[in-house]
């Protein structure tokens, strides 16, 4: 029963997210009410607030969970892998998780375009990912706090991620992972190689 309840909660949350993303893209964020989202998802507004404190939280698409996954994956990489390659590789593997969610990513982008408030929230989320990357890179080096070099490396990796996602959304024929690989190679002058394989740095 516990497993069934958990699956139902996940399903309801996903229905609310999908309803909100569609409405935000169609009507704009500011013109979309919580009541409209709940109606589209076939639940009550009270149910909405069991999952989200406010309607802007719907746009997170599990960022807290994904950020925890980023920490786990980065921490598991070989310590002799240099920082730039480690940051790029972990974001590359995270991007693979989005490949099956292209439609949702496109709807989210349309929602962000409709609201300066949402764009600010998205920018804060990216800064949080950047800070997390820098912190874990420092931990890999046995440091309590990231250095300037760690922060620069994290910033470059996240900027590449943003550029790749923008290209992927605007060009239906593009390959997100290939774009991230190309971005890394452009910045560092060498292809990104899977950790542990010959040629990795």
User: Is residue 201 one of the residues assigned to a domain?
Assistant: no
Residues 18 and 96 in one domain: no
* Residue 52 shares a structural domain with residue 73: no
Last residue of a domain, one of 25, 42, 58: 58
Query: Are 26 and 105 part of one and the same domain?
Result: no
Residue 194 lies in a domain: no
Distance, C-alpha 60 to centroid of its chain: 8
- The CATH number of whichever domain residue 27 belongs to comes to 1.10.10.60
Give the 3-state DSSP-derived string for 30-62, with helices as H, strands as E and coil as C.
CCCCHHHHHHHHCCCHHHHHHHCCCHHHHHHCC
Q: Does residue 44 sit in the same domain as residue 66?
A: no
Query: What is the predicted pLDDT for the residue at 114?
Result: 84
Parent domain of 17: 2-58
One domain, residues 23 and 66 = no
Whether residue 86 is found in the same domain as residue 152 = yes
Percent of the chain residues topping a pLDDT of 70: 97
Query: Does the residue 193 lie in any domain?
Result: no
What's the CATH code of the domain at 92? Answer: 1.10.357.10
Q: What is the pLDDT of residue 100?
A: 86
Stretches where the chain sits below pLDDT 70 are: 1-2, 197-201
Looking at the structure, do residues 39 and 92 belong to the same domain, yes or no? no
What's the structural domain count of the chain? 2
User: Are 78 and 49 within one domain?
Assistant: no
Tell me the three-class secondary structure of 82-125, residue by residue. CHHHHHHHHHHHHHHCCHHHHHHHHHHHHHHHCCHHHHHHHHHH
* Pair (146, 132) in one structural domain: yes
pLDDT in tens, 63-102: 778 889 999 999 999 999 999 999 999 999 999 888 888 8
Q: Tell me, what's the pLDDT at 1?
A: 59
Contact (CB, 8 A) for 73 and 94: yes
Best CA proximity match to 185, nearest among 162, 156, 148:
156
172 plus 86 within the same structural domain? yes
């Amino acid at each position: 029963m516990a497993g069934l309840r958990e699956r139902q909660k996940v399903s309801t949350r996903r229905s609310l997210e999908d309803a909100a993303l569609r409405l935000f893209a169609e009507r704009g964020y500011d013109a979309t009410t919580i009541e409209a989202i709940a109606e589209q998802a076939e639940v009550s507004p009270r149910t909405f607030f069991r999952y989200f404190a406010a309607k802007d939280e719907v746009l997170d698409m599990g960022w807290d969970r994904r950020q925890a996954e980023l920490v786990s994956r980065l921490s598991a990489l070989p310590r002799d892998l240099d920082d730039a390659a480690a940051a790029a590789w972990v974001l590359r593997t995270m991007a693979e998780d989005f490949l099956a969610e292209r439609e949702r990513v496109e709807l989210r982008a349309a929602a962000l375009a409709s609201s300066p408030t949402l764009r600010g929230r998205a920018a804060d989320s990216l800064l949080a990912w950047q800070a997390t990357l820098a912190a874990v890179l420092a931990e890999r080096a046995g440091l309590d706090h990231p250095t300037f070099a760690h922060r620069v490396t994290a910033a470059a990796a996240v900027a590449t991620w943003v550029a790749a996602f923008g290209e992927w959304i605007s060009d239906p024929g593009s390959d997100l992972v290939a774009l991230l690989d190309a971005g890394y190679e452009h910045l560092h002058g060498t292809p990104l190689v899977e950790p542990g394989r010959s040629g990795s740095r």
